[in-house]
Amino acid sequence: MAGVAVMSVPGGRVAAGSRVRVRDNWPETRGKVHIRTPHYLRGQVGTVVRHLGDFPNPEELAFARPAQILPLYHVVFEQPVIWREGRAGDQLLVEVFGSWLDPA
């Protein structure tokens, strides 16, 4: 995902409470990759809970390539929407890099 725009707000971070959509991107169809974003979240909408820090992109580090520093977020998703099971209020809390997030 080198060269991909990273979603941000002034100051470089997505604010807690922002609604985001995980990119419906499938780089594994274009060649060898290391992906940290669960496939079942692609295209799904969640809410940013908090910024966890800024880290080198592990998708590049896995291949010993120079890695862009990316923001990492806790994003919460409604479980029944993702897995088609569970009760209202059940949630998934997932770490997602900013390069995978777009405004919802």
Give the architecture (CATH level 2) of 19-103.
Answer: Roll (2.30)
Give the separation between CA 64 and CA 52, rounded to whole angstroms: 23
What are the boundaries of each domain within the chain? 19-103
Q: How confident is the model at residue 10 (pLDDT cuts 50, 70, 90)?
A: very low
pLDDT digits (tens, 9 = 90+) for 18-30: 999 999 987 767 7
Tokens of residue 33, six digits: 């990759």
Helix (H) or strand (E) holding 46: strand 45-56
Give the separation between CA 35 and CA 82, rounded to whole angstroms: 19
Global pTM reads 0.83
